[in-house]
Structure 1
Amino acid sequence: MSRTEVLRPAVRVKLATAAVAVPLLFLTACSGAAGDSGDSGAGESPSSPAATASETPTPTPTPSAKYKPASAEGPAENVPPPVMPEEAKVESKEGLEAFARYWYEAANYGYETGDVGLVQDISSPDCTTCLNYYEVVDNGYRDNDWIANAKITVQGAHSDYVLTPEGRYQALAQFQQEAMEYHGPEGLQGSEDADLTPSVQLFEATWVGDNWVAVNIVTIKG
């Protein structure tokens, strides 16, 4: 299988229900209650506002669970979801380019967690490559399996921002992807060939209401 066809469904032989994505976990530390100032007794100075304030304990910062990438030992843990930049929410050339970059970040999140919801939220249900991507992730997380080393690194996105006859705007996205591996409780299930040659995909999107929607993604080099 060619690794550069990053969104092509992988061949899998195991059948089971899809695994649930690892959620973000947050640990909350609780601080103690402030002490009572008490009544003033004989020979005691009355409590001052400054003294009362000093008795209030400093809130303990809330730590977040540490991110752990996927490996042969287990799936990724506590994966932070990407946040769409404000620029990607603008109907413009720069907005489309930023949106294309974000789409691949959302795809990375799915590879790491098995949760393709972020991609589904910003893609047309008729996007064939998107459907293939969902199948890759679903296959990779069946029967307690997981995917590792699948990160896509976008090296550039460019658009001439010309409307096509179909009412779409196009951008070219150049990227590289790590050699994807499939792991499971039994060990390594399979992997894709390593290839350091950058891939280029034609990324088409439409502006619907107040946001971009990916409608077609085609590999033209890789």
Structure 2
Amino acid sequence: MSSLGVRRQFAAVSLALAGALVLGACSGSDDPDADAAQSPSSPVSPSTSSTPSPTPTATYKPASAEGPAENVPLPEMPEEAKVESKEGLIAFARYWYELVNYGYETGDVEPVKAISGPDCFACQSLYSGMGDVYGTGGWIQGGDIEILTLDSDYQLTPEGRRQVLVSVKQRDMVYWDGTGNADRRPGDEISFLQIMEISFEDDGWYVHIAESTGD
């Protein structure tokens, strides 16, 4: 499969602020004569401590002819997507597509791989396609997937999975090969359907199948 043949197979920062804790201790004598014998103490200036400035968040920069996207935020799984329910399944499917878009924009497919099985054909196409592009110094501009509809009857298949039907479109995409050459691919004019089969395992939802239905 060509590096961009994957497009038909697919159609998601908190700052830690350090605080300063100043501990003060006072001591004195119970002997009033001892206190009287002490010379007046010099005024002590209140101690001051500077509050660390927040670490600035790196600015996101989309891909362009000059280079790949920079500082792309990794999608965070919503809490709802961790729940074994129809709503949780739908939220998880949306999150999965966010990770696919993240893979297109960065070349990093490990987040998708972590929640997808080895028999997912579209997943394997994504892995190899992004490896071909980014592994040779190229990058992708655009090509993100837009979800139009996403639904499930939440019935179990004989394999114990839940099916999700997704209507998607993929936007215009430009493949830059790292030497200034561009391969432009128009986006989808009409949407197409994909089917997913997902099961809830001990550690959450897991994608087994994601493929186009041919409709």
TM-score (norm 1): 0.76
* Residues 80-159 of structure 1: pairs in structure 2 closer than 5 A: 80-159=73-152
* Residues 31-70 of structure 1: pairs in structure 2 closer than 5 A: 45-47=43-45, 51-52=46-47, 55-70=48-63
Between 160-169 and 179-188, the greater mean CA deviation after superposition: 179-188
> How big is the shift at 1:179?
1.4
Q: Secondary structure at the match of 1:203?
A: strand
1: CA distance between counterparts of 2:180 and 2:17?
37
Percent of residue pairs identical: 44
> How big is the shift at 1:118?
0.4
Structure 2: runs of 5 or more not aligned: 23-38
Change (3 A) 1:210 1:43: closer
Please provide the CA RMSD for this pair.
3.1
Query: Which residue identity does 2:116 align to in structure 1?
Result: S
Does the aligned pair in 2 maintain the 1:4–1:195 contact within 8 Å? Answer: no
Does the aligned pair in 1 maintain the 2:6–2:125 contact within 8 Å? Answer: no
Q: Secondary structure at the match of 1:83?
A: coil
Query: Which residue identity does 1:5 align to in structure 2?
Result: R
Query: Which residue identity does 1:208 align to in structure 2?
Result: E
Between 171-180 and 122-131, the greater mean CA deviation after superposition: 171-180
1: CA distance between counterparts of 2:170 and 2:184?
13
Residue number among 191, 196, 199 corresponding to 2:192 in the alignment: 199
Residue number among 165, 170, 193 corresponding to 1:172 in the alignment: 165
* Residues 20-35 of structure 1: pairs in structure 2 closer than 5 A: none
The corresponding residue for 1:15 is none
The corresponding residue for 1:11 is none
Change (3 A) 1:190 1:154: same
Query: Which residue identity does 2:174 align to in structure 1?
Result: E
> How big is the shift at 1:44?
5.3
The corresponding residue for 1:216 is 209
**How many residues in Structure 1 have an aligned counterpart in Structure 2?**
194
Structure 1: runs of 5 or more not aligned: 9-23, 35-40
TM-score (norm 2): 0.78
1:53-73: CA deviation from partner (whole Å, max 9, x where unpaired): xx2223211102111111111
The corresponding residue for 1:160 is 153
2: CA distance between counterparts of 1:126 and 1:3?
16
